[in-house]
Amino acid sequence: MSRSPHRLLSTSATLAVLLAFGVLTAGCAGNPAAISDIRYDFGPPNPAASAGTAPPVKVLEVSAPDVLETDKLIYRISYADAQQTAAYANSHWTMAPSQLLTQRLRGALSSRGTVLTGADGVAAPVLKVDLSEFEQVFDSQSESHAAVTARATLTQSGKVVGQRTFIARAPSSSADAAGGAQALAAASDDLVSQIGAWLGVQALVAAQ
């Protein structure tokens, strides 16, 4: 099995736990699953994620730290060592989570109003979202959940209209990459819905 600094190999006991429920087995060369690489996205748009009223707004590309600017599907074993993260060997996103979230956010807001990009020369409020957490968290060997956190900042004419940190959580249907991808998509839709509702309130306040 190939070793990586991102693998949770701090103790032999931790490794034994991981191998027991199959999180790391896909990384072993002798495993048939290592032949294929499964790619995930957020799936079809969720109508519920479009809740809230969105004014005309420039939605910038979602930004994220370097560790999240990758197609890796990241997980954390919170009950073993909550300070370390790892990534599935043969399961990835179709693109970086920040890009997937940008698409989801623009799509949801466009169903409620006009959505522009930073390149558009039209005067409009600017929405900037900074993604800080996007991972599957294992609470035990058989249970996990998605954790997504982002800060949204709304500016107009160079002044901050509003800023808020949003947190979304969703249970995984299974304690594996497929369950993690499903839960992260659900949590992302929840996050987008929260931002959309908040944006509508900020627009009403700014218009007074």
Q: pLDDT tens across 15-61, in order? A: 334 433 444 433 333 444 455 899 999 999 876 554 455 578 999 99
User: Over 133-168, what HEC string results?
Assistant: EEEEEECCCCCEEEEEEEEEEEEECCEEEEEEEEEE
Interatomic CA distance for residues 48 and 140, integer angstroms = 30
What is the separation, in whole angstroms, between the first and last Cα of the chain?
62
Take residue 191 and report the two structure tokens written for it: 């996050």
**Predicted local confidence at residue 203, as pLDDT:** 56
Does residue 14 register a pLDDT over 60?
no
The residue with greater pLDDT, 45 or 86, is 86
Q: How confident is the model at residue 201 (pLDDT cuts 50, 70, 90)?
A: confident
Q: How confident is the model at residue 12 (pLDDT cuts 50, 70, 90)?
A: very low
Check residue 119 and report its DSSP letter. T
Does residue 72 register a pLDDT over 90?
yes
How many helices and strands, by DSSP H and E, does the chain display? Answer: 4, 8
Reduced to 3 states, what is the DSSP secondary structure of residue 48? Answer: helix
Q: pLDDT tens across 102-155, in order? A: 999 999 999 888 899 887 778 889 999 999 999 999 999 999 999 999 999 999
Nearest to 200 by CA among 161, 170, 169, 143: 161
Check residue 73 and report its DSSP letter. E
207 burial type by CB count under 10 A (0-12 exposed, 13-18 middle, 19+ buried): exposed
**Predicted local confidence at residue 63, as pLDDT:** 97
Interatomic CA distance for residues 45 and 132, integer angstroms = 22
Take residue 148 and report the two structure tokens written for it: 């997504």
Domains of the chain: 12-207 (3.40.50.10610)
Interatomic CA distance for residues 61 and 58, integer angstroms = 10
Interatomic CA distance for residues 85 and 74, integer angstroms = 7
Averaged confidence pLDDT in the chain = 82
